[in-house]
Amino acid sequence: MASLLKLFFSILATTLLATSQLANSGDPDILSDFILPPDLPEPGDYFTFTKIRPLFHQRPTSFKIAKASLAEFPSLEGQSVSYAVLQFPAGAANPPHIHPRASELLLVARGVLEVGLVDSANRLYTQTLQSGDMFVFPKGLVHYQSNVGRNTAVAFSAFGSASAGTVSLPTALFGSGIDDDVLAKGFKTDEDTVRGLEAGLAPPMKY
């Protein structure tokens, strides 16, 4: 009996520790509604973000992201929300990536997007979205979006964190300095192929 109780309390302690670590992986709770910086000329400006406005007057020639996260919009501190606008010219794609600190809710505002996510059992879920459709990408899972239409597509993404973070898989794998031999063995290919992938890697998109 004593050994069973010892096992029970050991499991309980481990569970509480894991739960505590999970709780700390999101945005910290705030103790007040908000804190305004001193001497604001117009307090309403603190809650206003206009840097995405120019995006609606541009025609992108490549995949582009404009974001309103904590780095760009300090008023989001402690609010557990952020936003991004994604523009996809015909044929453009947002490569596989993850957001380690938040789920993403994507709304297609214009065009047609193929989206997909991969769960922890390596199952792929895909869908073709039309204007007005939404798709949720759970926190930490690999996902992508691709414009499969003939015209520019535009989507809005909401995140459950002021700083969702982005890990681009192509960049993390082929642009981080991992040894070519390790990558060649991992992908069952040769080092020349790995070096070709590294050389052709575009700068990462951040949001």
Q: Measured between alpha carbons, how far is 60 from 86 in angstroms, rounded to an integer?
A: 10
198 assigned binding-site residue? no
57 assigned binding-site residue? no
97 assigned binding-site residue? yes
Q: Which residues of 93-122 are buried (b: 16+ CB within 10 A; e: fewer)?
A: ebbbbbbebbbbebebebbbbbbbbbeeee
143 assigned binding-site residue? yes
3-state class (DSSP) for residue 85:
strand
Query: From the centroid of its chain, how far is CA 162?
Result: 11
* The residue type at 24: N
What does the H/E/C string look like for 36-69? CCCCCCCHHHHHCCCCCHHHHHCCCCCCEEEEEC
147 assigned binding-site residue? no
Summarize the annotated binding site for oxalate as residue ranges. Answer: 94, 99, 104
Residues placed in the known binding site for Mn(2+): 97, 99, 104, 143
Residues that constitute the known binding site? 94, 97, 99, 104, 143
